[in-house]
Amino acid sequence: MGEHPRPDDNEPVLVRRDAGAIATLTLNRPRKYNALSIALLDALRQELEGLERACGVKVVVLAGAGKAFCAGHDLQELRDDAESAKAAFKKCADVMLAIAKLSKPVIARVHGTAAAAGCQIVASCDLAVASEEARFATSGINVGLFCATPMVALTRNVPRKVAMEMLLTGDFIDAQAALQAGLVNRVVPLPELDAAVGALAAKLAGKSAAAIAFGKRLFHRQLEAGLDAAYALASETMACNLASEDAQAGIDAFVAKKPTPAWKDK
């Protein structure tokens, strides 16, 4: 895994680079503003599924090459035929689910435009850091296509009125508005973006991978459950987490007033 070539080009559609415990996946169709072709969606899903088994990787960063983070689906490809469109939407949903199901945290590094399915990626990631130049939109309505699949992730991140305005108008919001709405976690000047993403990723990489895996899995399950079921799931998860080697070592160190132990690699 690492670089996924285009069907008719020598350049990869997706590039993976590992630095210590952090793996960065870069969408690499800059001339197409990183539009999500079927080839790119296939490459993303393959890498995300492979990263689940990558013992040395504890955090994943999603980035984009060129001017844009991601402009959404490749509309020209969608227009080919109805079956291609169905396949693309299914593959896109599979990628968003793969992000959610990955036991490792995924951070979106958003330097430029994130539109339609690009905005969906940002909303699907666990965390997002944006530059001041980033813009966000669910802009399908502007070409007569309601952003139904991006809506699923968007409405799980931002208030209803914000989501509906974005979906119905297709207007862009700037990075500060995205921060206020809860779509991103931090906004920094573009020259500081890599440092901000790196610092956040390093902080997460320093935590117990087992505890993060327990917590991320529970986070998504309890969101969709009723209150009683959510507490039952949380209680079960905490008991399982408590029995883990990391938790036992961490509690022992805390009680003994010793430094935090080195966590066991997952």
Q: What is the mean pLDDT of residues 104-122?
A: 98
Q: Which pLDDT tens digit goes with each residue over 32-72? A: 999 999 999 999 999 999 999 998 999 999 999 999 999 99
pLDDT of residue 15: 97
pLDDT of residue 65: 98
pLDDT of residue 263: 73
Q: Does the pLDDT value for residue 81 go beyond 90?
A: no
How far apart, in whole angstroms, are the C-alpha atoms of residue 60 and residue 23?
A: 5
- Beta carbons of 209 and 216 less than 8 angstroms apart: no
How far apart, in whole angstroms, are the C-alpha atoms of residue 239 and residue 245?
A: 13
β strands within 123-191, DSSP E: 127-131, 135-137, 173-174, 186-188
**Torsion from C-alpha of 147, 148, 152, 153, nearest 10 degrees:** -20
Q: Does the pLDDT value for residue 202 go beyond 90?
A: yes
pLDDT of residue 149: 93
Q: Which residue intervals of 11-66 are DSSP H helices?
A: 38-52
Q: Which two tokens stand for residue 196?
A: 């901000």
| Complete domains list, the chain, with CATH | 3-205 (3.90.226.10), 209-255 (1.10.12.10)
Q: Does the pLDDT value for residue 126 go beyond 90?
A: yes
- Beta carbons of 169 and 142 less than 8 angstroms apart: no
Q: Confidence band (pLDDT; 50, 70, 90) for 176?
A: very high
Q: Confidence band (pLDDT; 50, 70, 90) for 11?
A: confident
Residue percentage of the chain with pLDDT more than 70 = 95
Q: Confidence band (pLDDT; 50, 70, 90) for 235?
A: confident
Q: Confidence band (pLDDT; 50, 70, 90) for 229?
A: confident
Per the listing, tokens 């409405």 go with 155
